[in-house]
Amino acid sequence: MKKSVLSSVLVATFLLMGCEQSLSSEEVVTEVKANQETVENYQAVIELAVSITNQDSGEVIQESNSDTEIAFDETNLDNYGTISASDGTNTMEQEHYSIGDEAYLNINGQGWMDVSAQQESLFQNTGTTYEHLVPIVETISKVGEMTEDEDSYIYSFQGVSEELYSVLESPYSLSFGTVPPNEVEHDATLVIDKETLIIEELNSKLSGEQEGHELLMNIKHAYDNMNKMNDMTIPQEIIDAAANPQ
């Protein structure tokens, strides 16, 4: 009898814990929006790839990609990052520091430059900070569906959505030529951490057709070390190198 009662209590406790861990889609969106204010700093990786392919021959006519790694402090806009970009012919490597009221830039290893006068336009007016991704959560929750696993809430959407195109357009500089947003196909997933209710990763594949060509854009935006970053500083050797260019 005691064993039976104990088993019932354990089952009830397990079910209660399970109920406490699961939120509705609307509740997840509400919590993500509320928790936006708790996001202070993070590391992020943003991978973008664009291609134009001839549908008859299968030939890739044009392609480009960029990989960005950045450490960002939302409280003061301090950031450090690297960008590697290619258009199939030319490549570009960039590294920068933007700390306090100072900014330094090195392009293709040509040497460090003091670009403090352009700091705001170059490194602070970015459309891919965390606050710009929060509206994507609400939009994909309306057009897509939510599933969950042990650690995450996962929103997914396949199909056409002008609303989703609109919230992706500014952060990722979407450009589909003459293809209107209501003809662009989406295959998107957005992952929310269950414990913190903060965005972990966005993956989006967008495609469209224009005059016998397929336009394709892949986006991957992932966060790491959320609110675990130390204060950033500019190495003295970089300041010295910019002051005394070779």
- Which two structure tokens, joined as six digits, stand for 128? 């891919």
Give the list of residues 6+ apart from residue 103 with CB closer than 8 angstroms, or none. 96, 97, 114, 115, 116, 118, 119, 122, 123
Residue corresponding to tokens 């040497």: 111
pLDDT value of position 2? 41
222 strand-pairing partners:
45, 201
> Which residues have C-beta within 8 Å of that of residue 169, sequence separation ≥ 6?
181
| Distance between CA atoms of residues 21 and 9, nearest Å | 18
Q: Is 225 helix (H, G, I), strand (E, B) or coil?
A: coil
Question: Hey, what are 191's tokens?
Answer: 């992952």
Determine phi and psi for 112, rounding to 5 degrees: -80, 140
pLDDT of residue 9: 42
CA angle centred on 219, ends 214 and 224, rounded to 5°: 170
Q: What is the pLDDT at residue 209? A: 95
DSSP string of 72-137?
Answer: EETTT--EEEEEEEE-SS-EEEEEEEEETTEEEEEETTS-EEE-GGGHIIIIIS-TTSHHHHHHHH
The residue written with tokens 């919590």 in the block is 31
Tokens of 187: 């295959």
DSSP, collapsed to helix, strand or coil, labels residue 228 as coil
* pLDDT attached to residue 7: 47
* pLDDT score, position 16: 41
Reduced to 3 states (helix: H, G, I; strand: E, B; else coil), residue 165 is helix
Listed as ranges, residues in the chain with pLDDT below 70 are: 1-21
User: How far is the C-alpha of 219 from the C-alpha of 197, rounded, in Å?
Assistant: 22
Q: Could you tell me the residue ranges of all domains in the chain? A: 25-89+117-229
* Per-residue model confidence (pLDDT) at position 62: 93
